[in-house]
Amino acid sequence: MFNRLILILKDRDLRRKLFYLFGLLAIFRLAASVPILGIDKALFQRFYNDSQLLGLLNIFSGGALDNLSIVMLGLSPYITASIIMQLLTMIFPNLKELYQEEGEAGRQKFNQYSRLLTVPLAIVQGFGLLTLLSRQGVVHFTFFEMLTNLIIVSAGAVFLMWIGELISEYGVGNGASIMIFAGIVARLPISIQQALVSFDASQIPTFIAFSVISIITIASVVIISEGERPIPIYYAKRVRGMRMYGGTSSHLPLRVNQAGVIPIIFAVSILLFPQMIAGFFGASKYIILSKIAGAVTWFLTNSWFYGATYFFLVFLFTYFYTAVTFDPKAISQNLQRSGAFVPGIRPGNPTSDFLTKIVTRITLVGAIFLGLIAILPIIVQGATGITSLTVGGTALLIVVSVVIETAKQVEGQLSLRAYE
């Protein structure tokens, strides 16, 4: 471990990337500590502590919402824009070709569409959140303050999107994931301090349960994230000139969880939207709208209905994202062009069908695992009454997955330097 750290610090390029990463994260945390205009922090904290909606929003804003900072929307608009663009690839074949078949230039253009869509989504989400807080009596804005804060938080969301892409391009790891990770980790000292201040002997079972569930969750995430199904690949012998090529064997690794934490992020984004809309219309003077908003709020605040919906969305998005990012037909064509084949399977469509069947089976395990991790805190809370684990499963999954992904990138950089 210590020797590995020495190697990282000795590598000039990797050291520069890490310093760049830490510098951008420092800017992000500094922006997350600057509040918007005209708020009562004490009143907001009381409302925030009683709201599961704001607690989940705070996780995916990178911890920027708990003090109503200028970047309180976090990466939510950008994530929502990415979800919409991914969904549109299933509807419009041209977008799918742009994303999957036109190489790096096509993906850059696709990402540019996501960035442009982020701006109106940031305005809509910012207006909805500020109006929700205003109608709940948490804040009292004049028209000028409302307009000013809307511009500020929308610009803050675009600013965080820019920082996330800078981290992805010039730093280490995925920028959006690392920023969410930084927000979760930044709250750990506060959570530990609050737990120690309010500690008494009767809470020992709670801390033991939290520790056991955390260890099991971390171990499970590592096992599932690293699990893969290797497909044996053989290359046919070919003669070119006076030399013979091929005749070797390899394998095609199919990961059990190819989607990572993306399905949970997608599912939470979808669940938060109706909650925000219901809160917006909850105090409407129109009886029908207020009743519909009340029914939606009741449905989403009921832990069992909420948990079932959450599990279903995570399960669905796991298959959806795997289908978008993994194309068995393209892989089959590439294998056929390179003279490779799966033993016992004919090249072409039979190979594509075989890969589809394998991916469908192993994705089932990954989808069930992600769904259980997502609703694990709800199950524990309903069975034991422990409320401190409300968002623990999702947070642990994000933290562990980001650490594994970033560690692999660092290891890859070190291996590249050693090879050179």
Query: Per-residue pLDDT tens for 386-395?
Result: 555 444 566 7
**In this predicted structure, what is the pLDDT of residue 224?**
82
* Region at 60 (left for phi over 0; alpha for psi -120 to 50; beta for the rest): alpha
Q: Is 99 or 35 the better-scoring residue by pLDDT?
A: 35
Mean local confidence (pLDDT), 209-220: 76
Which ranges in the chain are annotated with CATH 1.10.3370.10? 12-199, 205-420
Name residue 251's beta-bridge partners. 232
Long-range own/partner contacts, residues 223-227 (CB < 8 A, 24 or more apart):
224/256, 224/257, 224/365, 224/366, 224/369, 225/255, 225/257, 225/260, 225/400, 225/401, 225/404, 226/404, 227/255, 227/256, 227/257
Q: Is 268 or 312 the better-scoring residue by pLDDT?
A: 312
pLDDT tens-place string over residues 310-339: 888 888 888 888 887 787 888 888 888 877
Distances (CA, A) of 275 to 17, 26, 47, 297, 308: 39, 32, 15, 6, 16
Which fold does the domain 205-420 belong to in CATH? Preprotein translocase SecY subunit (1.10.3370)
Task: Mark 232-243 as b/e (b = at least 16 C-beta within 10 Å).
Answer: ebbbeeeeeeee
Asked if residues 227 and 363 have their Cβ atoms less than 8 Å apart, the reply is no
Mean local confidence (pLDDT), 61-65: 71
Asked if residues 385 and 261 have their Cβ atoms less than 8 Å apart, the reply is no
Mean local confidence (pLDDT), 353-370: 88
Average pLDDT, the chain: 77
| DSSP 3-state of 74 | coil
Helix or strand run (H / E) with residue 193: helix 188-197
* 146 pLDDT above the threshold of 80: yes
Structure tokens at 363: 């994705």
Of the candidate ranges 34-48, 227-241, 278-292, the one whose mean pLDDT is the lowest = 278-292
| DSSP 3-state of 11 | coil
Structure tokens at 388: 């401190």
Name the band, by pLDDT with cuts 50, 70 and 90, for residue 279: low
* 113 pLDDT above the threshold of 80: yes
The percent of residues above 70 in pLDDT, for the chain, comes to 76
Q: Is 287 or 314 the better-scoring residue by pLDDT?
A: 314
Tell me which CATH homologous superfamily contains domain 12-199.
SecY subunit domain (1.10.3370.10)
Name the band, by pLDDT with cuts 50, 70 and 90, for residue 56: low
Q: Is 379 or 310 the better-scoring residue by pLDDT?
A: 310
Helix or strand run (H / E) with residue 355: helix 349-384
**In this predicted structure, what is the pLDDT of residue 389?**
47
**In this predicted structure, what is the pLDDT of residue 280?**
63
Name the band, by pLDDT with cuts 50, 70 and 90, for residue 200: low
Q: Using CA atoms, how far apart are residues 83 and 154, in angstroms rounded to an integer?
A: 19
Distances (CA, A) of 25 to 28, 32, 183, 264, 351: 5, 10, 10, 23, 45
**In this predicted structure, what is the pLDDT of residue 36?**
82
- What are the φ/ψ torsions at residue 341 (nearest 5 degrees)? -155, 155
Mean local confidence (pLDDT), 61-86: 80
**In this predicted structure, what is the pLDDT of residue 391?**
45
Rounded-to-5 percentages of helix, strand, coil across the chain: 75, 5, 20
Long-range own/partner contacts, residues 62-67 (CB < 8 A, 24 or more apart):
62/28, 62/32, 62/160, 62/179, 62/180, 62/182, 62/183, 62/184, 63/32, 63/182, 63/183, 63/184, 63/186, 63/187, 64/31, 64/32, 64/160, 64/183, 66/187, 67/32, 67/33, 67/35, 67/41
Name the band, by pLDDT with cuts 50, 70 and 90, for residue 100: low
| CB atoms closer than 10 angstroms to residue 44 | 20
* Region at 206 (left for phi over 0; alpha for psi -120 to 50; beta for the rest): alpha
**In this predicted structure, what is the pLDDT of residue 159?**
92
Q: Using CA atoms, how far apart are residues 29 and 103, in angstroms rounded to an integer?
A: 35
* Residue that is written with structure tokens 């409407």 in the block: 284
* 66 pLDDT above the threshold of 80: no
Spatial CA neighbour of 134 closest among 241, 211, 10, 39: 39
One-letter amino acid at 84 equals I
Structure tokens at 299: 């449905």
| CB atoms closer than 10 angstroms to residue 97 | 12
| DSSP 3-state of 238 | strand
